[in-house]
Amino acid sequence: MLKKKLNRSIGGTIALFVLLALVGLYTSLPLFYTVSNAFKPLDQLYKFPPPLFVANPTTDNFIELIQLCSEYRIPLSRYIVNSVFVSVVSTLGNLALASMAAYPLAKHTFPGKKLIQKMVVMSLLFTSVVTYIPQYVVIAKMGLLNTQWSVILPMFMMPLGLYLMQNFIMLLNDSMLEAARIDGAGEFRIYASVVMPNCKPAWLTLIIFAFQQVWNNNGNLYIYKEAQKMLPALLSSVAAGSSSVARAGVSAAASLLILIPPALIFLLSQSSVVETMSTSGMKD
Amino acid sequence: MSIAGTGSSITGLGAKRGASEKIRQTLRQVKQHKMSYVLVAPYMLFFIIFMVIPVCISIGLSFTNFNMLKVTEFVGLSNYKRLFLEDKVFVTVLKNTLVFAVFTGPVGYFLSFGLAWLINEFGRGMRTLLTFLFYAPALSSNLYFMWTYIFSGDAYGIANQMLMSIGVLQEPMQWLTDTRTMMGVLILIQLWASLGTAFLSFIAGFQSLDRSLFEAGAIDGIRNRWQEVWYISIPQMAPQLLFGAVMQISSAFSVSTIIMSLAGWPTTEYKADTIVTYMLDMGNTRYEVGYACAIAVFLFALMLFTNNVISRMLRKYSKD
């Protein structure tokens, strides 16, 4: 251990820290400004250079945000209900279907398994925006346009969740499953009462990835009725005036509020995420 | 001669019998693993509807003039002919896509790896905080609205104020609509958002490294950190590096949301549009779905090709 420390020169350490500080500053500056601008009174928003910290914090921006929203035809509560509904149903659906499929893909050998695994890995490449045009045709044919199901149902098959769960379950001890089988448990029973309780880190990770993706979806691509849309859509219309700095405070307040749910989930499940991602590797 | 003939006919028969035997065996296995299929089926149903069918549809429609309004006709390769030979805008967006991909792909990839490596030096609490700070752009893509405050086109935008106060600019710059600056500014912003899934995978990879190898390495004459990461960490992390590459390619070629929200859709003279935003423009605004599908097929091919080349490179490296 002592030897290892000696290997590292002080100059190198300082250089690394300077680099880390610079890149860190660059990546986290927007986050800092979002937080501080949200609490800045109007006069400080226009100050130059823009103060990083707030001198006399105010909740004016949040109050103005609520006032702005109440002037809209659609009440704020509607967007919140839509966002929560879409995010929760998509995430739970993805969790249920992906974990159920991940168990046999990880632990059974059956004809067609290799093909499915190959397709899933390949589809990790294709984000929803890449397949958007043909997906639009499918969703239109199914009569789902203008409904929230157009956002929810495609989320059920988010391949990243399945991929991570499968890799995690592969590492579970076979003897545990064998013991349950000897006790007469069926495969579904094994999935529900042996596999699932033992891969909690994996499903927490799936939840954070699925939730973060759908929570940031405004629904604009498949939904044209304003009353069906989600929170980020409201944010874009509130912030529409922010190409001039006029609404910088209000849009910062809105961004901050929207960040809170995924940030909380991420911070609470961070160690699970790390544990799961260590199994994310592609062997071949 | 005749003996040889009988011989070959016997082996032919054997092969036939072998094939039907194989089918029977497969069927037996399918029956035996009925429950596996039942568990996989619900996911696969959605996977087929929203992934397999769309990919197949785009290949099929790319040979037609489908536009959701008129009767669809088979037009052969004319969409592809238009794409490669006639469409001047496509050349621009292809070039833009590659520029974005080079910056957010490799640069983002190495940045993710470097930062994960540095973060690993800290204790648990600090590590959690730093991971959160770097990953925040991916957690809420809405944070990019803050960039409109920095690159705002009026005299109050931070970049404009800063450059005007030191006299570099005489009047405010329209950062996000001026064709001279928008590409650069968008690359900066896209790079900021490029620490994603790969970054988390690398952090996890560093934390699950086998500690004893570092001590063994020190005895074997590893002198500094660079050698340590090169000879010990990277070879052990090959699977994570491969996964990270796939995720990074996926996001590098689908750059679109930030461009569309900050620089407009389409951007000034298509100077900052990518294949994805151009495809959406064709399919969604102009209803030229057949042509948009040809663009999609090209994009699929480009992504699969890149993925193939990079995986092969990484595998070769990890085997050496």
Instruction: List pLDDT tens digits, range A121-130.
Output: 999 988 878 8
With respect to residue B49, please indicate whether it lies within any of the assigned structural domains.
Answer: no
Write down the pLDDT at residue A85.
Answer: 95
Residue in A104, A159, A215 closest to B40 by CB:
A104
Specify if B260 maps to a domain: yes
Minimal CA separation from A65 to chain B, in Å: 15
Residues of B in contact with A252 (CB under 8 A): 145-146, 149
What average pLDDT does this structure show over B211-240? 80
Q: Which of A136, A160, A258 lies at the smallest CB-CB distance from B142?
A: A258
Query: pLDDT tens across B160-169, in order?
Result: 888 888 878 7
Q: To the nearest whole angstrom, how far is the Cα of A262 from the nearest Cα of chain B?
A: 6
Q: Tell if the CB–CB gap between A259 and B136 is shorter than 8 Å.
A: yes
Q: Is the pLDDT of residue B260 over 90?
A: no
pLDDT of residue A2: 40
Contacts of B224 in chain A (CB under 8 A): 7-9, 12
Please name the member of B33, B50, B300 whose beta carbon is closest to the beta carbon of A135: B50
Residue type at position B128: T
Contact predicate A83/A254, CB 8 Å: no
Give the span between the Cα atoms of A187 and A190, in whole angstroms: 5
Q: For residue range A177-221, what is the model confidence (pLDDT) as tens digits? A: 999 999 998 999 999 999 999 988 888 889 989 999 899 888 877
Give domain status of residue A106, yes or no: yes
pLDDT score, position A224: 82
Question: Once rounded to an integer, what is the mean pLDDT over residues A220-233?
Answer: 82
| Contact residues on chain B for A283, CB-CB shorter than 8 A | 239
Q: Is residue B72 part of a domain?
A: no
Q: What is the pLDDT of residue A276?
A: 86
Residue of A nearest to B203 (CA): A274
| Minimal-distance CA residue of chain B relative to A133 | B283
Locate the chain B residue with the closest alpha carbon to A282: B239
Specify whether the CB–CB gap between A277 and B204 falls below 8 A.
yes
Nearest to A94 by CA among A246, A234, A215, A248: A215
A258: left (phi over 0), alpha (psi -120 to 50) or beta: alpha
User: What backbone torsions phi and psi does residue A172 show, to the nearest 5 degrees?
Assistant: -65, 150
- Sort out which chain B residues have CB atoms less than 8 A from A31's CB and list them: 133, 136-137, 143, 146
Subunit contact B147:A273, Cβ cutoff 8 A? no
B29 in any annotated domain: no
The nearest CA of chain B is from the CA of A169 a distance in Å of 15
Å between B115 CA and nearest CA of chain A = 7
pLDDT, chain A, mean: 84
Calculate ∠ Cα A110-A112-A115, nearest 5°: 135
Q: What is the 3-state secondary structure (H, E, C) of A89-134?
A: HHHHHHHHHHHHHHHHHHHCCCCCHHHHHHHHHHHCCCCCCCCHHH
pLDDT of A1 higher than 70 = no
CATH number at residue B108: 1.10.3720.10
Task: Point out the least confidently predicted range of A25-34, B47-56, B165-174, B306-315.
Answer: B165-174
Q: What is the mean pLDDT of residues B209-216?
A: 79
State the pLDDT at residue B165: 80
Q: What is the pLDDT of residue A8?
A: 58
- Residue appearing with tokens 């996890």: B204
**Domain enclosing residue B121, as ranges:** 78-319
pLDDT surpassing 50 at residue B146: yes
The Cα–Cα gap between A127 and B51 comes to 10
In this complex, which of B46, B137, B197 lies closest to A97 when CB atoms are compared? B46
Q: Would the CB atoms of B146 and A133 count as touching at under 8 Å?
A: no
Q: Cα-atom radius of gyration of chain B, to the nearest Å? A: 27
What is the pLDDT confidence band of residue A243, given thresholds at 50, 70 and 90?
very low
- Nearest chain A residue to B34 by CA distance is A110
Residue in chain B lying closest to A234 (CA): B142
Mean pLDDT of B203-231: 80
**Beta-ladder partners of B74:** B64
SS3 A279: coil
Is the pLDDT at B317 greater than 80? The verdict is: no
Which of A221, A208, A205, A224 has its CA nearest to residue A261? A208
Assess whether pLDDT exceeds 90 at residue A104.
yes
Cross-chain CB nearest to B46 (options A129, A153, A212):
A153
Query: Which range is most confident: A248-252, B153-157, B295-299?
Result: B295-299
pLDDT band at B11 (very low <50, low <70, confident <90, very high): low
Mean pLDDT of A259-283: 86
Is residue A21 in a domain? no
Q: Choose the weakest-confidence range: A112-121, A233-242, B176-185.
A: A233-242
Question: What is the rounded average pLDDT of the residues A133-140?
Answer: 88
Chain B residue numbers touching A33 (CB-CB < 8 A): 146, 149-150
Yes or no: say if B284 and A140 are a contact pair by the CB < 8 Å rule: no
Contact A24 B58 (CB under 8 A): no
For an interface test with A, which of B66, B124, B145 has the most A Cβ atoms less than 10 Å from its Cβ?
A: B145
Asked whether the beta carbons of residue B142 and residue A31 sit closer than 8 angstroms, the reply is no
Instruction: Determine, for residues B215 and A3 on separate chains, whether the beta-carbon distance falls below 8 Å.
Output: yes
SS3 A84: helix
pLDDT digits (tens, 9 = 90+) for A82-99: 999 999 999 999 999 999
Between chains, do B303 and A30 touch, taking CB under 8 Å as contact?
A: no
In-domain check, residue A15: no
Residue B319 pLDDT: 65
Phi, psi of B108 (to 5 degrees): -60, -35
CATH at A182: 1.10.3720.10
pLDDT of residue A241: 52
Q: Which of B6, B39, B319, B53 is nearest to A103 (CA)?
A: B39
When pLDDT is cut at 50, 70 and 90, the band that residue B4 belongs to is very low
What is the spatial distance between Cα B290 and Cα B60, in angstroms, rounded to a whole number? 9
Domain count, chain B: 1
pLDDT digits (tens, 9 = 90+) for B170-185: 777 888 878 788 888 8
A17 is a domain residue: no
pLDDT at B5: 44
How many domains is chain A partitioned into structurally?
1
Instruction: Show the CA angle centred on residue B58, arms to residues A221 and B266, nearest 5°.
Output: 45
Beta carbons of A23 and B224 less than 8 Å apart: no
The answer to the question of residue A5 being in a domain is no
Give me the domain span that covers residue A132: 68-277
3-state secondary structure of A282: coil
- Measured in angstroms, the CA of B111 and the nearest CA of chain A are apart by 9
pLDDT tens digits, one per residue of B20-62:
888 888 888 888 888 999 999 999 999 999 999 999 999 999 9
How far is the alpha carbon of B213 from chain A, nearest alpha carbon, in Å?
A: 11
**DSSP string across chain B:** -HHHHHHHHHHHHHHHHHHHHHHHHHHHHHHHTHHHHHHHHHHHHHHIIIIIHHHHHHHHHTTB---SSSPP-B-TTHHHHIIIII-HHHHHHHHHHHHHHHIIIIIHHHHHHHHHHHHTTS-HHHHHHHHHHHHHHHH-GGGGHHHHHHS-SSTTSHHHHHHHHTTS-SS---TTT-TTTHHHHHHHHHHHTT-SHHHHHHHHHHHTS-HHHHHHHHHTT--SHHHHIIIIIHHHTHHHHHHHHHHHHHHHTT--HHHHHHT-SSPGGGTT--HHHHHHIIIIIS--HHHHHHHHHHHHHHHHHHHHHHHHHHHHHHH-
Minimal Cα–Cα distance from B250 to chain A, Å? 5
Residues of A whose CB is below 8 A from B304: 122, 125
A36 domain-assigned: no
On the 0-12 / 13-18 / 19+ scale of CB atoms within 10 A, B59 is middle
Higher pLDDT, A243 or B293: B293
Average pLDDT over residues B66-84: 86
In contact, A240 and A224? CB cutoff 8 Å? no
Contact B249, B105 (CB under 8 A): yes
Would you state the structure tokens that stand for residue B235, as one six-digit string? 């070879």
Residue B53: its chain A contacts at CB < 8 A? 134, 138
Chain A positions in Cβ-Cβ contact with residue B115 (cut-off 8 Å): 20, 23-24
- Going A16 to A19 to A23 to A28, the CA torsion angle's sign is positive
CA distance B12 to chain A (A): 26
Helices (H) and strands (E) in chain A, counts: 16, 0
Tokens of A259: 């960040």
Residue B95 within a domain: yes
Domain membership flag for residue A26 = no
Nearest C-alpha of chain A: how many angstroms from B6? 35
Nearest CA in chain A to B161: A48
CA angle A133, A136, A137 (to 5 degrees): 95
Q: How many CB pairs under 8 A join A and B?
A: 313
CA–CA min distance A212, chain B (Å): 6
Tokens of residue B217, six digits:
């390495």
Q: Residue A10: what pLDDT?
A: 73
Residue B40 within any structural domain of the chain: no
- Assigned domain for A205 exists: yes
**Does residue B114 fall inside a structural domain?**
yes
Q: Compute the CA torsion angle A252, A254, A255, A257 (nearest 10 deg).
A: 120
Residue at B187 is within a domain: yes
CA distance A138 to A155: 14
pLDDT tens for each residue of B90-128: 999 999 999 999 888 888 898 888 888 888 888 888 888
Q: Which residue of B has its CA nearest to A122?
A: B304
